[in-house]
Amino acid sequence: MDHGFLHWGRFSQAYRKMFGERPSDTLQGRGPAVLPAGPAYA
């Protein structure tokens, strides 16, 4: 698989940890409107 994820569940966990919402929420336009503050966004 692309981007180093061999299991969709692990991708979903990593995505939720990074963005604070599930990938499906992002695709449906739900969830937080702003990204969480942190070193990845500085």
Task: Work out whether the CA dihedral 18, 20, 23, 26 comes out positive or negative.
Answer: negative
Residues 5-42 have pLDDT tens digits of: 678 888 888 889 988 888 888 888 865 555 666 665 54
Is this model's pTM higher than 0.85 or not? no
Left, alpha or beta for 29 (phi > 0: left; psi -120 to 50: alpha)? Answer: left
Q: Where are the domains of the chain?
A: 2-30
